[in-house]
Amino acid sequence: MALAANSYFRRLTRQLTEDIDQLDAEDLAESSQASGAQRACDCHRGEEVTMQGRLRSVESCPKSSNATVQAEFFDGTDPVTLVWIGRRRIAGIEPGTKLMVRGRLGDKNGQKVIYNPYYELLGDS
């Protein structure tokens, strides 16, 4: 019983003193690993990947001929840009949304990118 209480207070102290972004990244990485998804930091260009994480930002570029929706996806290890070509808006794709994505990992100006990824919206775990 004393060991469990000691562990609880250690976790509580850590949550109160550590950087919120760092804690969020660790939580995302742990839930991603528990789901069996790949970690973005371990994935390389050309691989078919399945990752779980959260959208940090979403932008729409509604130019008539080149409409795109771009989102910054973060799984707790590395950011990945998701780009849906030919879309002006996608229901459910907004900052803070947790999702599972699947697609072929590419590289654009040294940044990881997935074009037209398959995605599954996840609950707020």
The CATH number for 53's domain is: 2.40.50.140
User: Which whole number is the average pLDDT over 18-25?
Assistant: 58
Average pLDDT over residues 87-107: 91
- Contact present, 53 and 43 (Cβ < 8 Å): no
Please determine, for residue 103, whether its predicted confidence score (pLDDT) is greater than 90. Answer: yes
Mean pLDDT of the residues in the chain:
80
pLDDT at 84: 93
What is the distance between the terminal CA atoms of the chain, rounded to a whole angstrom? 28
Q: With 90 as the cut, is the pLDDT of residue 119 above it? A: yes
pLDDT tens digits, one per residue of 61-92: 876 667 889 999 998 888 999 999 988 888 99
Q: Which domain holds residue 14?
A: 2-121
CB within 8 A of 64, min separation 6: which ones?
Answer: none
pLDDT of residue 77: 84
How far, CA to CA in Å, does 47 sit from each of 1, 51, 88, 97, 112? 47, 12, 27, 24, 11
pLDDT higher than threshold 90 for residue 24: no
DSSP 20-57: HHHHHHHHHHHHHHHHTPPPGGG--TT-EEEEEEEEEE
Q: Is the pLDDT of residue 20 over 60?
A: no
The total of structural domains in the chain comes to: 1
pLDDT at position 39 is 85
Residue 107 has pLDDT above 70, yes or no: yes
Whether 118 has a pLDDT exceeding 80, the answer reads yes
